[in-house]
Each structure stands twice: as structure tokens, then as C-alpha cells.
Homo-oligomer: A and B are copies of this chain.
Amino acid sequence: MIFFNSDYNQGAHPEVLEALIKTNSEHTDGYGLDPHCENAAKLIRELIGDETREVHFMIGGTPCNITFAAAVLKPWQSVIAARTGHIYFHETGALEGTGHRIVTAEAPNGKLTPGLIDRALEEYQDEHTPEPALVYISQPTELGTIYKKAELKALYAKCRERGLLLYIDGARLGAALTCGENDADIRDIAALSDAFYIGGTKNGALFGEALVLRPGLCEGRFRHMIKRQCGMLAKGRLIGVQFEALLAGGEESLYYRIARHENEMASILREGLIRLGVRFDGDSPTNQLFPILPAGVVNTLKQDFFFYEWRREKDGMIPIRLVTSWGTERSEADAFLKRLGELMQK
């Protein structure tokens, strides 16, 4: 069985694992108050070129999204997001669980626009509706698409014009930063948002994400909020150690290398699929692909490859999702394309 189901179906990249092994017997203080977390935070501040930002190491992406939003929103405030956004579509109402509405927009390609933000704000008139205060986007989006730098600039300008915070979910940030279409580097991501996170889980870590905040957003009490939201790890250094391993070396670091690998493997698949005449659901330049295949082909492919059907069958065709990971090998991509080629010829 060859796996294209996700970028979290194996453990850590060997170099990350090596760092955990090497530091395993060290004694440190707990809860993220250790030299590794301190050093990893320093690496991040250098990478984004802003020494003022707060960095917090979090257990996962949903904890980043929810802890941040719940920390900065007043009880009567809401979040604006695409209906395809992870915070709406894949977090079991965790944000509403903290008492806030998500105002959803039907966003083409999973991407919010200044116009969609304006439209969402039309729903807010006075004290009888919640007041939008935070815009949630993902880079890349849940559909694999990316915001270009000009789009991010326009979104952030709109947010500032309308008094909104802008948050970027970077679960697969590496895949965006290193894909061919991209023109927004991590300094842009930092400069054009109020908070974002650098995803580790889907980029070679065992687990863990690095949340980066503009200073003053949470009155210096963000650690209280992490603990209150059940997200503080006793052996917090584990995340620091992994981000040290991932980020040492800036844009030549392991983090970027893993992301480039994911994108390269995806490109091989994409180009092969195009050669086979396959159409795609959306136009993802990153490590998630959504080819639309005949139902019969999908069912046969499943015998040797593990992937998810993305949407229901329609007119005999099924969009599936293929995801590449740090461990995806060229031979696996080739095997997939070869088998598909055979099936398409029949």
C-alpha cells in the first residue's frame, strides 16, 4: 500500500527525530520554559525579521486557531472565514465552543477577498448581531491554493480599514512558501498579519506548531490562555527541540527542504496527471492535489493506494485528494501514475 492520504501519516523526519533523541536525557524546566523553546523562538524572530513578536509553541493547529481567537475576541465578537476554512469545516465547532460565531463566506478557491469581507460585514448592523473582529485565512488554503503577496496586502489593508485583526493559519505554510507560484516570503506573512503560525505537524515534526503574535495582543497573558484551553505541554521543550531542528539555517533549513520536497513530489504527480488528461477540482500549486477520476478507476486504485475521496461522486466522476509528505518517494509517485495510466487506457 502506498500512502497519499495525508502529510501526517508517518512519524517525524529523521533529522527531527535525531534532535529529539540527542536531547532526550537533558533535564529542563517544564511547560515551554526551557532553553530549546527560547532558542527556537529566537530563530523564528530572526527568520521573520521582527524581534518584537511573541512566539508560543503549541500542540496542534486547532489549538493555535482557537486559543488565539478566544484570547483576542470580546464575548460579542465574531470571526469571518471561508466556509471551506479549517476553523469552520474541520474543528467540530471548537471556536463556537468558546462562545463566538464564525460568519462564513462562499469563497471561490477557498480564498477570502476584500469584497467578501465587506459583504460579511453587511450582516453586522448594530447590537443585535455579533461584531466581526477577526478574519481567518489559511496559507495555503484547505484547497491547496495560495494567496499572492498583492492579495495578502489587499486583505490586510481591508482588515485595518474595517478594524479587524487578520490571522493566517499556516498548517502547511512551508508548502505555500516554497511552491512555484508563491511571491510572499515568511517576512511578508508576518508583516501582513496580526498573528500566524508555522505548522510543524505537516512539515516533518512529530507534532507542534509555532504561533507568532504581534506584541500586546493578549496583554502578556497568552500563556494563561494556553493553559486555560488545555494546550500546555508538560514536556514543552519537545516542540522547541523540533523547531530548532527544523528552522536552523533560515530559508535553507530543514523546514524549507521538507516543504520543497513535498511540492516536488506533488509536481511530479500533477504533471503526470495532466499528461493523462485528468482535470482537477481547483488549481492547487502546493502539496495537495484534487484530480477528478472516474469512479471505477478510483475504486481500483484504492487496492494499492490510500487516499481520500474529497467529494461525492457526480456524473460518474469523483474528486480525490492526493497529499505528498516528507516521506513521499519519487518511486511512489511514479507507481501511482503508472497504475493510473494503465487504468485510464482501458
Is A221 located at the chain interface by the 8 A CB criterion?
yes
Contacts A60-B234, A101-B96, A229-B94 hold; do A223 and B8 have CB atoms under 8 A apart?
no
B327 & A93 in contact (Cβ 8 Å cutoff): no
Q: Which of B62, B70, B229 lies in contact with A232, CB distance below 8 A?
A: B62
Residue in B closest to A227 when the chains form the complex, CB atoms: B92
- Among A23-31, A185-193, A337-345, the one that faces the other chain is A23-31
Is A59 located at the chain interface by the 8 A CB criterion?
yes
List B contacts of A233 (CB < 8 A).
Answer: 59-60, 207
Complex CA–CA separation, A226 to B128 (angstroms) = 10
B24 & A12 in contact (Cβ 8 Å cutoff): yes
List B contacts of A306 (CB < 8 A).
Answer: 27, 29
A24 & B9 in contact (Cβ 8 Å cutoff): no
A11 & B238 in contact (Cβ 8 Å cutoff): yes
B131 & A221 in contact (Cβ 8 Å cutoff): yes
Residue in B closest to A2 when the chains form the complex, CB atoms: B27
B235 & A207 in contact (Cβ 8 Å cutoff): yes
List B contacts of A96 (CB < 8 A).
Answer: 78, 96, 99-101, 130
List B contacts of A224 (CB < 8 A).
Answer: 76, 92, 127, 130-131
A193-232: contact bitstring with B at CB < 8 Å (1 yes, 0 no)?
Answer: 0000000011000110000000000010101111111111
Residue in B closest to A30 when the chains form the complex, CB atoms: B8
Is A277 located at the chain interface by the 8 A CB criterion?
no
Is A20 located at the chain interface by the 8 A CB criterion?
yes
Q: Which of A78, A207, A228 has the most CB of B within 10 A?
A: A228
Contacts A74-B219, A74-B221, A230-B94 hold; do A27 and B3 have CB atoms under 8 A apart?
yes
- Nearest CB on B from A31, distance (A): 8
Interface residues of A in 294-316 (CB under 8 A from B): 306
Is A137 located at the chain interface by the 8 A CB criterion?
no
Is A113 located at the chain interface by the 8 A CB criterion?
no
Complex CA–CA separation, A64 to B62 (angstroms) = 17
Complex CA–CA separation, A67 to B100 (angstroms) = 16
Is A75 located at the chain interface by the 8 A CB criterion?
yes
Complex CA–CA separation, A159 to B343 (angstroms) = 43
B9 & A30 in contact (Cβ 8 Å cutoff): yes
Complex CA–CA separation, A127 to B20 (angstroms) = 27
Is A66 located at the chain interface by the 8 A CB criterion?
yes
A25 & B93 in contact (Cβ 8 Å cutoff): no
Interface residues of A in 1-34 (CB under 8 A from B): 1, 3, 5-6, 8-12, 14, 17, 20-21, 23-30
B235 & A8 in contact (Cβ 8 Å cutoff): yes
List B contacts of A202 (CB < 8 A).
Answer: 234
A positions within 8 Å CB-CB of B? 1, 3, 5-6, 8-12, 14, 17, 20-21, 23-30, 59-63, 66-67, 70-71, 74-76, 78, 89-94, 96-102, 104, 123, 127-131, 201-202, 206-207, 219, 221, 223-235, 238, 306, 327
